[in-house]
Amino acid sequence: MSPVTPLLSHRCANTCELCSAENASAAFAVSPKNNDQIENEVALCDTCFRALNETEKGDHWQCLAGSVYNENPSVQALSYRILHQYKNEEWAAELLQSIELDEAVVNWAMSAFEQQEVHRDANGNELQNGDNVVLTQVLNVKGANFMAPKGTIVKRIKLVPDNPEQIEGKVNEQTIVILTKYVRKG
């Protein structure tokens, strides 16, 4: 959270851009963007700022029915994002259905719900297709009937799509699936 800059204060006339309370006290950057320009920010009152991190604030968030039509994309995106968190409540579901926003704004709002599927090795380092890795423990390859000793180098791995815990690689000329937690980048 950052203080409200004079530029932002001017834009919002010192009122909360979500609920219109007359005491905007925080400049909230809508992730994944940051506070480097006011186009990324929403001026919030204390109540809205606190409610962001709480659940069951449906009563307070009725104000989003207005703020989602604010002319600033950052305010639209944050309003849409909060509404989406309450999409199981009828009022929010109805509102979400009736809103028409730019696709870029909706994508911005929804980016908060996308899960990053990153393959990581035993040390937490990110793995990429084509990396070489080293086995950090003995691998008993079922079905192929051999053991790959600790320290075996597996070249040019392939990430298993949709499963960040698995990679594929060749050991003893056979392509096998290996758990990412048992390898480290070579």
- Which residues of this chain interact with Zn ion, rule CB under 5 A? 16, 18-19, 21, 45, 48
Q: Which is nearer to Zn ion, 10 or 181 (CB)?
A: 10
Q: Which is nearer to Zn ion, 15 or 137 (CB)?
A: 15
Provide the minimum distance between the beta carbon of 39 and Zn ion in the complex, in angstroms, as a whole number: 20
Q: Which is nearer to Zn ion, 16 or 183 (CB)?
A: 16
Find tokens 């809205």 and name the residue: 48
Residues 172/183, Cβ–Cβ less than 8 Å: no
Q: Where are the alpha helices (DSSP H) in the chain?
A: 6-12, 46-51, 64-67, 73-85, 90-98, 103-110
* Residue 116 CB neighbour total at 10 angstroms: 5
Provide the minimum distance between the beta carbon of 60 and Zn ion in the complex, in angstroms, as a whole number: 8
Q: Which is nearer to Zn ion, 10 or 50 (CB)?
A: 50
Query: Token pair for residue 89?
Result: 């409540």
Provide the minimum distance between the beta carbon of 40 and Zn ion in the complex, in angstroms, as a whole number: 18
* Angle formed at CA 185 by CA 179 and CA 186, multiple of 5 degrees: 120
| DSSP string over 12-30 | HTTS-TTT--S---EEEE-
Q: Which is nearer to Zn ion, 78 or 109 (CB)?
A: 78
Provide the minimum distance between the beta carbon of 87 and Zn ion in the complex, in angstroms, as a whole number: 21
Give the C-alpha separation, 185 to 183, whole Å.
7
Provide the minimum distance between the beta carbon of 43 and Zn ion in the complex, in angstroms, as a whole number: 9
Give the C-alpha separation, 47 to 170, whole Å.
56
